[in-house]
Amino acid sequence: LEDSPPDDKEKVNQTFLQPFLSYTTATYTTYGVNTESTYNWQSREWSVPVNLTVTQLLKIGGQPLTVQAGPRYWLDSPVDGEQGWGFRVAVTLLFPR
C-alpha cells in the first residue's frame, strides 16, 4: 500500500464526518440538522456544509415514501469549492417487509 496510488496519480487522504440531530413528531414529520464535513489532509482544507431538513412520511396509493426538503449553507470550503446557500429536495420510496 505504500506505493499506492502510482506516483502519476493524485493521492487522496480525506476524513468524512456526518453528525446529525433529528426530531420526529407524532404526525411523522422529522426536523433535522446535519453536516457532511470533509477534511482533506493533503491540502489541509475543510468542506463544511450544514443542512436543515424537514421530512414527511406519506402514503400514495398504498406506497409509503418520504419527501424531504431544506436549505444548505457552507460554513467553510476551499477557495475553489462551494460557497453560500443551496437547497436540496429528496424523495425516497420505502419498501417495508
Per-residue pLDDT band at 1 (split at 50, 70, 90): low
Question: pLDDT digits over 39-79, tens only?
Answer: 999 999 999 999 999 999 999 999 999 999 999 999 999 98
Asked if residue 5 has pLDDT above 90, the reply is no
> What are the DSSP calls for 16-34, one per residue?
EE--EEEEE-TTSEEEEEE
Q: Mean pLDDT, to the nearest integer, of 4-18?
A: 82
The pLDDT of residue 12 is 86
The pLDDT, as a whole number, for residue 10 is 77
What pLDDT sits at residue 3?
Answer: 59
Q: List CB contacts of 8: < 8 A, sequence separation 6 or more.
A: none
Residue 56 neighbours by CB under 8 Å, 6+ apart: 28, 29, 30, 66, 67, 68
Confidence bin at 36 (pLDDT 50/70/90): very high
pTM: 0.79
**More confident call, 2 vs 71:** 71
